[in-house]
Chains A and B, each alone.
Chain A
C-alpha cells in the first residue's frame, strides 16, 4: 500500500491518425505532491491527462495507482480510482442549479431528491474551498470565474485522492487565483496528489513541488521547482531560449481616436475614457468588474442605458455590431470558442467573414482572391496549419486565437478591442500575439486590452484604467505602473 508514488504512468503512447501525440512518456506523482505539467499547446499534456482520467484510451503503456497496475477505460473508472479532473472547457449544465451540477452523478441514484439536504451539502463543499455561492443559483448566470469554482467543487465532492487541474486560473484574476492556491495547498496537506497544468509559469513557483516539461509528445525534463527558473522552464518547453517574452515597442501616440463619455449599463456606471491613435490602453480589474461589458456595449453587442461615443472628435453611435464594424471597431472576444470562431467554416472562411466585400463582387465570392487574402494573413500571423482549408478546431488554442485576430486584421478597423487575447495560449504563441498587438499600435490603431494577467498589462500597455464593480477607480500612467498600485486602486473606497 505504501508505494512511493500515487500514480506511475510508464511508456505512454497515443496517436491520432498519423500524429503521435505521446511518444513513450513516463510520468509519476507522489502522494501530497503538487506536480506541474507544462508544455506548449499540442505538446501532449491534455492527452496524457485525458488518458489518466479515462477520456482517451492509450495505445500502449502502463498505469499504476498506489503501486498496483490498473486499467482505466472510462471516466467512471477513473473516478473509482480516486482520479478527478477539472477540464479547461466547462462541463457544466448551464440550466441547472449550482447544487445540481456539483452532485450531478449522484442525482440519479434515488428516485427522489432531498433538495434542502442537497443544497446544504453543496454549500458546504463550496464553502470548504473558500467561496460563497448560493447553491440554488442557476449555473448559467454565474461569471466564468465562479463557474470554474463550481467545476472544482464538483470534482472535490467525489473525495478524490488525485486531482488534475487543466489551466484552472485561465479565467480567474489574481486575487481569485490566490484563493485557489490556498485551497490547493490545503488539499496537498491532506495528502491529495495534484497535477497542475498551466501556462502561467509564475504560478508554478508559488505552489509547485515538481515540474515536468513536455515538448512534442516527449518529456524534456522532470525537475524540483526549487532548482528551476522561468527561463529554464521555457527553454525546456520550446527547445530554445525565448529572447523576450514581451517584445518592446516604441510608442508613437497621436491624436485622440475614440472617446467614451458617461457609459452606463447593467454592469457598469458612468464610464468615461479615451484612447489615442497608436496607444495601447489596458483595462485592469477583477473578473466581473464590468470591463468586458463596457466593451460589448461600445461594440453594439449589448444595449446600454446612456453614454456617448466620439470617433476622431465626432459623435458617432454604434447601435449594432454591424454599425460598429463599419465604423472601424474590432472586437476579439473573451471566449474564442463560443464567440470568436465558426466551427462549420474552415480557416479561410473564418478569416474573411468580417470583410466579405473585400473578397466578393456583387456578393459572389472570388475564390482566388479569398484564398490569397486568407493565405497572406495566415502566413503573416504564422498560424500553424497545413492549409487554410483545414477545420479551425483542428488548430491548437494559440493558433485558433491567431485566426480570430486574423479576422480583424482583414478589416480596416482603427480601434481594436482585445478581451483576454492570450487566455489559454502557450508561451510561444503569447509572444507572437504580443508582437501583433505592438504591430497594431505602431500602425496607428487604438488598442484596448483587457486582461486578468497584471504582468501582461504592465508590460504591454501605455496607460491603464482600473475598474471595479462597474466603475472606473482610477488611471495609471506608465511611470506609476505596478501591481501594487493596481490593487490599491481596486480596493480603494471611492
Chain B
C-alpha cells in the first residue's frame, strides 16, 4: 500500500506534461515582465482567452473521434455577424437562441456528411469554412456592424466577485466538459469511436449519431465564442475568428491529444490554450513585433509537440510486452 501514498511523478509527467509547461511559462513570464503578474493583465489575458477556450474544447472532442473541424473560425465570424444583425430587430435572448440554433444546424450538416456519407472531415470542414465565411460576408455586406446592446456589453465588462463574467463562463465550461468526458457515456463513447470505431460499432453503439454530435458541439461552442467576441468588441464582423481554428488545433495538440483520435483531456486542452495565450501576451509585453511573434509561436508549438512525442515514445516502450 506504500505505492498509493507516494506521488507517481512519472505518471503525472506523462499525463499532465502541459500543466508543468504552463507553470514554467508562467514563472518565466512573471520574471521577464513586471506587468505580467498585474491583476489587470492577468484578467485581460483570461478574458481574451475565453472564446478560444470554448473553441478548443469543441475541437478536442472532434479530434478525440479522429476527426477535425476547420470551420470553427468562420463559424465565429458568422455568429458575430448574425448577433449584430439580429439584435437590430430582436431582443438578446431570442438573438442568442437563434444564433446557436443556426450554428447547431451548420455543425449537424458537417457531422452528417462526415459520419453518414463518410466524407473526410478535413475536406468537409474546409468547405464549411468557406461557406460560413461567405455567409458572414453576405449578411454583413462585408462591413463590420456596430452593436448597441447594454445587456450584451455588460456580459463582457462585468465581474462576479472580482472575476470577469467571461472568465467565469469559460472556466465553467471547462469544468462541465471535463466532468462530461470523465463521467458520462457520451464522453466514453466519443473516446471509443476515435480509438476503434469498428469495435465500437460492433459493440452496438450508434457511432454515426455520436460523431454528428461532436460536430454540433464544436459548432455551437464556436457560436458562443462568436457571441462573446461580439460582446467584447461591440461589433459584428465577418473578419472575426480568423485563424482561430488553427489556434484551437494547436492548443489541443499541445494539450497532448493525438490527432489520430482516442485520447485527450479537457484540462490539458485548457492548459494548451493558456500556454499559447501566455506566449503571445509576454511577447506583447516585451514589445516583440508581430511578425517575429508568429515565427516564435510556431517554433514553440513544434517544441511542445516534440516534447509530447518523446514522452509518448517512452510510454510505448515501457508498456510493450511480448
Contact = CB atoms under 8 A, between A and B. Distances in A.
Interface of A: 16-17, 19, 21, 42, 44, 46-47, 50, 56, 299, 301, 320-322, 324-326, 331, 333, 338-345, 349, 353-354, 356, 360, 363-365, 391, 394, 407, 411
B185 interface: yes
A61 B189 CA distance: 46
Contact of A333 (B183, B186, B202, B204): B202
Interface string B138-159: 0000000000000000000000
Main secondary structure of the interface of A (DSSP, over half): mixed
B203 A16 contact: no
Nearest to B264: A344
B322 A50 contact: yes
B319 A340 contact: no
Contacts of A324: 204
B318 interface: yes
A47 B206 contact: no
B8 to A, nearest CB: 14
B262 A343 contact: yes
Nearest to B194: A344
A360 B183 CA distance: 9
A446 to B, nearest CB: 18
Nearest to A340: B199
Given A320-B206, A364-B183, A345 B191 contact: yes
B195 interface: yes
Nearest to A43: B322
Interface string B197-238: 011111111100000000000000000000000000000000
B161 interface: no
A391 B319 contact: yes
A303 to B, nearest CB: 14
Nearest to A355: B204
A343 B322 contact: no
B320 interface: yes
Contacts of A344: 191-192, 194-196, 262-263
A326 B203 CA distance: 11
A339 B198 contact: yes
B188 A47 contact: no
Contact of A46 (B184, B191, B322): B322
A87 to B, nearest CB: 12
A365 B194 contact: no
A343 B196 contact: yes
B321 interface: yes
A401 to B, nearest CB: 13
Nearest to B209: A322
Given A338-B199, A345-B188, A322 B194 contact: no
Contacts of A47: 322
A338 B195 CA distance: 10
Given A353-B189, A356-B185, A365-B185, 6 more contacts: A321-B201, A340-B202, A341-B199, A343-B195, A344-B263, A353-B205
Contact of A407 (B196, B203, B206): B203
A407 B205 CA distance: 13
A364 B203 contact: no
Interface of B: 183-186, 188-189, 191-192, 194-196, 198-206, 262-263, 318-322
B204 A342 contact: no
A339 B202 contact: yes
Given A16-B322, A391-B319, A341 B196 contact: yes
Contacts of A42: 322
A353 B193 CA distance: 11
B204 A322 contact: yes
A349 B319 CA distance: 19
A340 B201 CA distance: 10
A360 B188 CA distance: 12
Nearest to A55: B322
A270 B194 CA distance: 36
Given A16-B322, A365-B183, A342 B202 contact: no
A375 B274 CA distance: 40
Contacts of A339: 198-199, 202
Top 9 closest A-B pairs, CB basis? Answer: A325-B204, A344-B195, A47-B322, A344-B262, A342-B196, A356-B185, A363-B185, A322-B206, A354-B203
Contacts of A341: 196, 199
Given A345-B192, A353-B192, A364-B183, A394 B319 contact: yes
B130 to A, nearest CB: 29
A346 B107 CA distance: 31
A19 B199 contact: no
Given A342-B196, A349-B188, A364-B183, A354 B322 contact: no
Given A44-B322, A321-B204, A407-B203, A338 B186 contact: no
Given A354-B203, A363-B185, A342 B322 contact: no
A365 B192 CA distance: 15
A17 B202 contact: no
A106 B140 CA distance: 59
A231 B209 CA distance: 52
Contacts of B321: 16-17, 19, 21, 394
A321 B197 CA distance: 13
Most buried by A among B186, B198, B318: B198
Contacts of B202: 299, 301, 321, 331, 333, 339-340
